[in-house]
Amino acid sequence: MRNVVETTPEGNMVLNVGPQHPSTHGVLHLFITVNGETILNLDPNIGYIHRSIEKMCESLSYRQFIYSTSRMDYLSAHMNNHGCALTVEKGLQVEVPVRAEVIRVIISELTRLASHQLWWGSLAMDLGALSPFFYAFREREMITDIMEETCGARLTMNYIVPGGVMADIHPDFQRKVKEFIVQFKSKIGEYHELVTNNVIFQNRTKGIGILSKEDAISYGCTGPTARGSGLSCDMRKIYPYSAYKNIQFNEILETEGDSFARYMVRMREMEESVNIIEQLIDNIPEGEFLAKTKAVLKLPKGEFYTRLETARGELGVYIVSEGGTTPYRIKFRSPGFSNLSALNHMIKGHKIGDLVSVMGTLDLVIPDIDR
Amino acid sequence: MSFLSNYIKEVYGAVSSLLIGMKRTGYYLTHNKEVITEEYPEFRAKMADRFRGEVVMTHDAQNEHACTGCSACELACPNGTIKILNKFDITPEGKKKKAIDSFVYHLELCTMCNLCIVACPTDAIKMSQNFEHSVYDRRLLTKQLNFPGSKLREGVE
C-alpha cells in the first residue's frame, strides 16, 4: 500500500483518489500522478468489489446462474439477464415466443432509460448541481414502479428466464408506460434547460477528455462512450437480436469525442428509447410468454457466445458446455472494464477537476468492472 | 471589434443560460404542489402484488398447507436458502407417508429471485409484500414457514 501522498523523484505527487473501504459499494481506487493540478498518469486499482460471479456461475444450473448477473451491472440488470438467456436459448435451440421477445425489448429499453436518468442526475451532482438528481429520480421512480408491478423487484429484476419471461405483463403495464412516455416527453426539455445549455456545464465538458475514433477502437470502447467518438457499435443495429429486427430506430452518433459528445449521445439515446417503446407498446402480440422447456436444462457440448447492447456498451456472454447441467466455463465481456481502460489516455494533461467530468461521462458501474 | 462583440455575445449567452436554469428552479420553489416524496414511518406505500418481500407458505383456515415436501424449491434455489426436513407419517392403513416436518427458510441468504415460487408444483409457497425485515438478532431471520400443528391439505399430491 502506498502512502496517501507520495512524491516521485521527479517532484511529481502521487495522489490516491477514491474510497477504499470494503463496506462501501462501487469502490474505484485511482493512483494519479500530478504535477501541480495537471494529471500526468492515472492508474486504476480495481478489485475491491470482486465477487467471482463467473466462477460462482460454474456451480449453478442454467436457470439459476441468470439471477447473479443482475449484480454485475445493476443499472442494466435486465439486459444482463437477457444476454444470458439468449446464450442459453442459442444452445438449447428454443424458439422464444414473439410476445416474450417484445416484452423483453420494452423492459430493456425502460431499463436503459432508468439507467441513463440515474447517470444524468449523478453526473450533474458530481459537477456541482444538486437539483437535477431529484428531477431525474422523479421520472426514474415511474419506471421503477412499472418494474415493481410487472417484474416484482425494482433493481435486480430477474424477470427473464430461458425461453421467455417469468410472468406475463401486469394489466396496468401498457397504461403506465404510456403515462411515463407523456411525462418524460414533457420533462426532457427541462433536462436540457437545467444542464445541457448551462454555461458552466458546457465549459466543463466541451473539449475535455477527447477520445479519437481510432483510440476508441484500440481500447475496445463500446456503447455511448465509443459512439461519442463516431464509432458505430450499436449491437441492436449491427447484430439485431430479439424484437430489434423489426423496429425502426436510429443509431446515435456524435463525432467530437469529448465529454459533451458522450453526454449528448446518452441524452439523445433516451429519446430514441422512448421512440422504440412507442413503436412496441401498442403492438404486443398475443400468445404465450414462456416457451416450454425441459425441467432440467442441458446444453449440448460446445461453445456459445452472444453479444448485446446494455446501457453502458457491449456485453458478451460466453458459455462453454461439456453437456452437463452446469456450465463448464462462463466469461462475461463487460463494457465498463474496457471503457475504464481508456481513462488514462483521455485524462492525461487535464486538470484534476476534469477527472470528474470525464469519469462521469464514461458512466462507470464498478461492480460491472470487477464482477 | 468582432472580438468585443463575440465576448459580449458569450457573456449574454452564459448569463441567460444560468437565468433559464434558475427560472426552472424558481418555478418548482413556488409551485410545490408536485410533492413526490413520502414520509416513511407515517406513510407506508402499498407494495405491488408481485413485489418480492419474503417467501411465505399459505395456510388456510383449517391450518392446512399444500407443501408435499418434494424439495423442488430447495433444488431451484441458487443460494441454499431453503432446507426441507421431512418426516414419515403412519397412515391409518399402516402405510408410511412422506410429509414435511419443518420448512426452514433463511431470509438472510435470500435474494428474492422468485425461482422457488416458479418451481413449486403445488403453489404452496408465495412471495409476501412485507419489506421491513430488520431485526436485532440475525438468528431471527431463520424462519420455519409451516405453522405449528399444520398438515398437508387433502387431495394435494
ipTM: 0.80
Q: Which of the pair, A207 or A318, is modelled with greater confidence?
A: A318
pLDDT value at residue A1: 46
Residue span of the structural domain in which A9 resides: 1-49
pLDDT value at residue B136: 92
Cell triple for residue A217? 477502437
Cell triple for residue A6? 507520495
User: Over the stretch B52-109, which tens digit does the pLDDT of each residue have?
Assistant: 888 888 888 888 888 888 888 888 888 888 888 887 777 777 777 777 888 888 888 8
> Is the separation of the CB atoms in A142 and A176 below 8 Å?
yes
- Residues A115, A133, single domain; the answer is yes
- CA–CA gap between residue A15 and residue A353 (Å, rounded): 14
| Structural domains of chain A, count | 2
pLDDT value at residue B47: 82
pLDDT value at residue A318: 92
- Residues within 8 A of B (CB atoms), A 147-186 only: 148-153, 156, 158, 161, 166-167, 170
Contacts of A197 in chain B (CB under 8 A): 17, 20-21
Question: What would the mean pLDDT of B35-39 be, rounded to a whole number?
Answer: 75
Residue of B14, B36, B48 lying closest to A149 (CB–CB): B48
- Residues A33, A141, single domain; the answer is no
pTM of the entire structure? 0.87
Amino acid at B118: V
* Chain A residue nearest residue B115, CA to CA: A64
Please, what's the b/e burial string for A76-95 (b: 16 or more CB within 10 A of its CB; e: otherwise)? bbbbbbbbbbbbbbbbbebe
The CATH code of the domain that includes A344 is 1.10.645.10
Contacts of A158 in chain B (CB under 8 A): 113-115
- Residues A84, A22, single domain; the answer is no
Question: ∠ CA A96-A100-A101 to the nearest 5 degrees?
Answer: 75
- Residues A154, A33, single domain; the answer is no
- CA–CA gap between residue B135 and residue A369 (Å, rounded): 33
- Residues A92, A24, single domain; the answer is no
- Residues A138, A19, single domain; the answer is no
pLDDT band at A6 (very low <50, low <70, confident <90, very high): low
- Residues A62, A173, single domain; the answer is yes
CB contact under 8 A, A156 and B111: yes
Residue of B24, B50, B115 lying closest to A63 (CB–CB): B115
- Residues A200, A271, single domain; the answer is yes
- CA–CA gap between residue A271 and residue B35 (Å, rounded): 26
Q: Assess A290–B contact: CB distance below 8 Å, yes or no.
A: no
Last residue of a domain, one of A49, A69, A87: A49
Q: What one-character DSSP code corresponds to residue A39?
A: E
- Residues A92, A2, single domain; the answer is no
- Residues A151, A236, single domain; the answer is yes
Mean residue pLDDT across chain A = 86
- Say which residues have a Cβ less than 8 Å from residue B129's Cβ, sequence separation at least 6: B47, B48, B49, B51, B53
How close B50 gets to chain A, by Cα (Å)? 5
The pLDDT of residue A121 is above 80: yes
**3-state class (DSSP) for residue B155:** coil
Amino acid at A108: S
- Say which residues have a Cβ less than 8 Å from residue A345's Cβ, sequence separation at least 6: A211, A215, A219
User: Over the stretch A230-285, which tens digit does the pLDDT of each residue have?
Assistant: 888 888 888 888 888 888 888 888 888 888 998 999 999 898 889 889 888 888 88
Question: What would the mean pLDDT of A75-97 be, rounded to a whole number?
Answer: 88
CB contact under 8 A, A68 and B76: no
pLDDT value at residue A5: 58
- Say which residues have a Cβ less than 8 Å from residue B12's Cβ, sequence separation at least 6: none
- Residues A154, A277, single domain; the answer is yes
Residue of B13, B49, B118 lying closest to A199 (CB–CB): B13
pLDDT band at A22 (very low <50, low <70, confident <90, very high): low
- Residues A362, A230, single domain; the answer is yes
Contacts of B26 in chain A (CB under 8 A): none
The dihedral sign for the CA sequence A92, A98, A100, A104: positive
> Is the separation of the CB atoms in A85 and A161 below 8 Å?
yes
